[in-house]
């Protein structure tokens, strides 16, 4: 079976530091992968390479048998539901941001009901419905993370790329988030130091 994402002998030097040297990683469709490592080891650079924001020095990155280059990122944009630690959301009313999401070309996001979001997901991740009427900049870190997670799920993309998405959550909510992604059918790449991902036994741990 062909791997969904394939990194072969990838090398990358950044700011005079060798972050990757002949690094290889195969990820199958539906796989659950936990990326872990020391700060500065290159985890964020790996995310940027997969998203097409940073090119690599040598080797290849293939996604569904097509080689990824930084100049054809648009070909892969629809594959990833990316959530980072800080959750970048346009300033202003959240409800207006959700309406705009539905209008973006290539998105399958469906604005739902009075709140714009799937209410079952809001309940699952304990996201207060009243927050929808607030400005995004007024949300706490944990609220932003939960909003980002709900939006990512509603985008219905085949790969979740999650970068420290539980850092602002309490233990109970971390468990709920990790449980959801450990059981979903999509491919999940989680970059995290949080042991909650590892103890599920569902994620293949990659350390460098």
Q: In which band, very low, low, confident or very high, does the pLDDT at 73 lie, cut at 50, 70 and 90?
A: low
Q: Which CATH superfamily is domain 30-52+76-207 in?
A: P-loop containing nucleotide triphosphate hydrolases (3.40.50.300)
Specify the range with the lowest mean pLDDT, choosing from 49-63, 116-130, 137-151, 189-203. Answer: 49-63
pTM above 0.85, yes or no: yes
Q: In which band, very low, low, confident or very high, does the pLDDT at 205 lie, cut at 50, 70 and 90?
A: very high
Q: Where are the domains of the chain?
A: 30-52+76-207
* Residue 72: count of CB within 10 angstroms of its CB: 11
More confident residue, 123 or 15: 123
Task: Report the chain's terminal Cα–Cα distance, integer Å.
Answer: 26
Condensed to tens digits (0 to 9), the pLDDT of residues 14-56 reads 888 898 899 999 999 999 999 987 776 788 888 888 888 888 8
pLDDT at 1: 45
pLDDT at 169: 94
The yes-or-no verdict on residue 63 having pLDDT over 80 is: yes
pLDDT > 90 fraction of the chain, expressed in percent and rounded: 59
As a dihedral over the C-alpha atoms of residue 63, residue 69, residue 74, residue 77, rounded to 10 degrees, the angle is 40
């Amino acid at each position: 079976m062909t791997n969904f994402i394939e990194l072969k002998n990838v090398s990358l030097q950044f700011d005079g530091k060798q972050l990757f040297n002949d690094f290889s990683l195969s990820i199958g469709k539906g796989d659950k992968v936990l990326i872990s490592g020391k700060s500065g080891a290159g985890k964020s650079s790996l995310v940027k390479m997969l998203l097409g924001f940073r090119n690599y020095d040598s080797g290849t990155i293939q996604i569904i048998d097509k080689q990824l280059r930084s100049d054809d990122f648009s070909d892969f944009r629809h594959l990833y539901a990316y959530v980072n630690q800080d959750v970048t959301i346009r300033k202003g009313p959240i409800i207006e941001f959700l309406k705009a999401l539905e209008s973006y070309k290539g998105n399958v996001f469906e604005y739902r009901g009075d709140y714009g979001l799937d209410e079952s997901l809001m309940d699952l991740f304990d996201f207060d419905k009243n927050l929808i009427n607030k400005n995004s900049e007024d949300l706490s870190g944990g609220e932003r993370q939960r909003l980002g997670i709900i939006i990512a799920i509603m985008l219905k993309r085949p790969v979740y790329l999650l970068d420290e998405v539980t850092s602002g959550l309490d233990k109970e909510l971390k468990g709920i988030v990790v449980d959801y992604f450990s059981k979903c059918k999509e491919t999940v790449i989680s970059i995290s130091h949080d042991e909650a991902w590892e103890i599920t036994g569902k994620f293949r741990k990659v350390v460098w």
